[in-house]
Chains A and B, each alone.
With several copies, the nearest count.
Chain A
């Protein structure tokens, strides 16, 4: 789960990391008002979960009220890579001499958090990582001990951070690690960490991604999540408790188990279709969950057909079939063609039970996907 920049900065500032003066604004007048309070120059920054906001026109530096108004008008309401900008952060512009990068993430290969420091901040750090990996110093952390202070210093000195700010940067690194640990971060970054002409350091941007599996013990951040959700369908999936990812295609996909659902997506693509979503309804297939899943998929106006792929394991195929029937019978009319493939324990009995009037029943995964792709192509052609 991603926090917005303004939310992450609030968390950082509370932990003692220096951030520029700023306030959130949702209207043009508010932007100007806040800018006047802060004093020019200020930056007006779109608050959407999109990388490269600056290049896409989502961040503007303004020198006076006219420019502020102009920037606010252009950014508020703009479409930024598919997201509509509804909030902007108005923030004091920092007069910097140097831009650094600091971050903490989980290195899954090592099973350990890793602290990263680079003198090459202010740019796309993933490009730096690819082209010049040496420019990013990495220090792995033993999660039982936590980050030793010497490790923060070591990362900072090894990265060649100048002596004049080394102590302050090490302190930011330590605080960032503490946040990562205490707030169940999965990825916490400051890019750039700006160095001012007075040798102060200021977090000019803030990234904070939280481990979704830990939100149960992070109530404050879980509240921020609601505020941060942007896609209506993804918000609905949260509500239903589904693992759901929206995609660009027109074949809707429902299944049980992440690996099998991914495989179904891949087969849709393999057979010439385009997946509209990933939707894992989890174990079994109770009528209510099936209903909710269908509601989700049909709410996506791009969807032209649905493939419903259930492997009945412990839950027997005949029971699954009854659940699917019960769910489908709640619809007056099934909005788009649904192909059901049922496998595993008592699959044959299940297929017998399924209501052929409402759905197309297929025996194999390959067959079901091919049929759904055909339906989708037909619907799309109409």
Chain B
């Protein structure tokens, strides 16, 4: 089993005719993802990688019965594309785009309270259920099917941890990059809840980083609601206050909230071992399984 995406997921790629969109749509298809359509205004009637392109998401969903979309649309237009996905009654929208203005995302976040669609991202690598489907830019070949769930605010850090797991023969049910922005659709708790309810996920890796209080809230959630064991990692222990560390969301505020220390303590208090290095996280998972 897996969470959110699998063999049956029928995917629309929003922005499929752009450079990134085209490249990753083809990669997704190559991985075996059931990409059924693209959606790009003005490009209706074209084909990319054998997939028909429609002018609107709605038309793509109508014609190809899609239930998920991946957004590869430049930052200035990405929030609009996400709204289009959310308003089209999909089950899942995955927004890869980095650099969406925060106030655009605040509006999207409001809209999320009004619809049943789940949003992953933005500014995320996407989601993968190894061997079945990937929606996003994750390198499929480093993943292996198995029983560890993975949720992370970061892309390459995820790959680093997955690489350690896979090289030890530990496979994954599903891996989700929730994204490095201050406002995201699915937070740690949202992902952890899904893993907790997935009988095939026997342990979860949670990779956090500085900024916000999402990890602290997740720690509380884990302590109160999870039977599935969790191992953690927090990036940014050495980050100075007030500086944005690459991700728009990775910033320790001047008043000292969002520090790695606070997050590590919260996780430890919740019984979650937090590795000092990525390899230590893989060690913990080996212990927990």
Interface bits B51-64 vs A (CB < 8 Å: 1, else 0): 00001111100000
What is B's interface to A at a CB cutoff of 8 Å? 23-24, 27, 41-42, 44-45, 55-59, 75-77, 80-81, 83-84, 87, 99-107, 109-111, 125, 137-139, 141-142, 152-160, 163, 180, 182-183, 207, 209-214, 217, 233, 235-240, 243-250, 254-255, 260, 276-279
For the complex, is A278 an interface residue (Cβ under 8 Å from B)?
Answer: yes
Which A residues are CB-close (under 8 A) to B80?
Answer: 148-150
Cross-chain contact B255 with A129 (CB below 8 angstroms): yes
Contact of A153 with B137 in the complex, beta carbons under 8 Å: no
Known: A145-B111, A150-B56, A313-B139. A258 touches B245 (CB 8 A): yes
- Taking CB atoms, residues of chain B closer than 8 Å to A216 are 75-76
Q: Which chain B positions have C-beta within 8 A of A343?
A: 159-160, 163
Task: Give Cα A82 to B127, complex, Å.
Answer: 43
A255 CA / B155 CA spacing, docked (Å): 12
Q: Are A126 and B250 in contact, with the CB atoms below 8 A?
A: no
Residues on B with beta carbons closer than 8 Å to the beta carbon of A113:
103, 106
- Whether A256 pairs with B156 at a CB distance below 8 angstroms is yes
Size band of the interface chain A makes with B: 35 or more
Q: Check B154–A258 contact: CB distance below 8 A.
A: yes
Distance A365 CA – B42 CA, assembled complex (angstroms): 46
B163 close to A184 (CB less than 8 A) = no
A257 at the interface (CB under 8 A from B): yes
Does A260 contact B154, Cβ atoms closer than 8 Å? yes
Q: Nearest-CB distance from A101 to chain B (Å)?
A: 14
Cβ distance A281 to chain B, nearest Cβ, rounded Å: 10
Interchain Cβ contacts under 8 Å between A and B, 23 examples: A126-B255, A129-B255, A148-B84, A148-B87, A150-B83, A153-B41, A163-B42, A211-B103, A211-B248, A213-B102, A243-B246, A245-B243, A257-B246, A258-B154, A259-B207, A260-B154, A261-B245, A262-B238, A262-B245, A262-B250, A263-B233, A265-B238, A314-B139
Q: Is there contact, CB below 8 Å, between B276 and A270?
A: yes
In the bound complex, residues from chain B placing their C-beta under 8 Å from that of A263 are 157, 160, 233, 235, 278
Give the contacts of A161-177 with B (CB-CB under 8 A). 163, 166-167, 170
